[in-house]
Chain A
Amino acid sequence: QKEVEQDPGPLSVPEGAIVSLNCTYSNSAFQYFMWYRQYSRKGPELLMYTYSSGNKEDGRFTAQVDKSSKYISLFIRDSQPSDSATYLCAMSAGGGSNYKLTFGKGTLLTVNP
Chain B
Amino acid sequence: EAGVAQSPRYKIIEKRQSVAFWCNPISGHATLYWYQQILGQGPKLLIQFQNNGVVDDSQLPKDRFSAERLKGVDSTLKIQPAKLEDSAVYLCASSSRGLIGNTIYFGEGSWLTVV
Contacts and interface: CB of A to CB of B under 8 A. Distances in A.
A97 interface: yes
Interface stretch (B13-21, B39-47, B62-70, B79-87): B39-47
B78 to A, nearest CB: 20
A45 B99 CA distance: 14
Given A94-B99, A95-B99, A44 B43 contact: yes
A97 B53 CA distance: 12
Nearest to A45: B106
B100 A92 contact: yes
Interface of B: 4, 31, 40-45, 48, 50, 55-56, 91, 93, 95, 97-101, 103-109, 111
B59 to A, nearest CB: 9
Nearest to B45: A100
B98 A100 contact: no
B100 A32 contact: yes
Taking residues whose C-beta sits less than 8 angstroms from the other chain, chain A's interface range is 20 to 34
Question: Majority SS of interface residues in chain A?
Answer: loop
A105 B38 CA distance: 10
A97 B55 contact: yes
Contacts of B104: 46, 101
Given A41-B108, A43-B109, A95 B43 contact: no
Interface in A12-31: none
Contacts of B40: 8, 105-106
A68 interface: no
A96 interface: yes
A51 B42 CA distance: 21
B50 A44 contact: no
The 4 closest A-B pairs by CB, nearest first: A97-B98, A103-B42, A43-B106, A95-B100
Nearest to B99: A99
A88 B100 CA distance: 17
